[in-house]
Structure 1
């Protein structure tokens, strides 16, 4: 029935929003932790030049 088409798109929109929110929240909470390398010496200049103001 053509009358049900707007409801179908509304349900698809809510389904997409729900899946998107779940996907973003899972990526936020389960992202891998970055390991800090303690062997790097911060006193040496970096290979990339720094901006000077």
Structure 2
């Protein structure tokens, strides 16, 4: 069975590294979180506890 040339391994590594970077960048810039700050602040105020030591 013939071995792959080292140049092919380098090209494969570069290809998959670039793909990984592009997928991460697309995921970062296309993700649009919808946060309700008012709703979150109500939840935090309701769950607060007074600790008595």
TM interval, short-chain normalised: 0.5 to 0.7
TM normalised by structure 1 equals: 0.62
State how far apart, in whole Å, the 1-side matches of 2:46 and 2:20 are: 42
Residues 43, 32 of structure 1: alpha-carbon distance in 2 compared, 3 angstrom cutoff: closer
**Alignment size in residue pairs:** 47
In structure 2, the partner of 1:12 is 12
> Greater helix share, 1 or 2?
2
State how far apart, in whole Å, the 2-side matches of 1:33 and 1:26 are: 14
TM normalised by structure 2 equals: 0.62
Quote the RMSD (CA, aligned, Å): 2.8
Q: List, as ranges, runs of 4+ consecutive aligned residues in structure 1 with deviation greater than 4 Å.
A: none
State how far apart, in whole Å, the 2-side matches of 1:11 and 1:39 are: 50
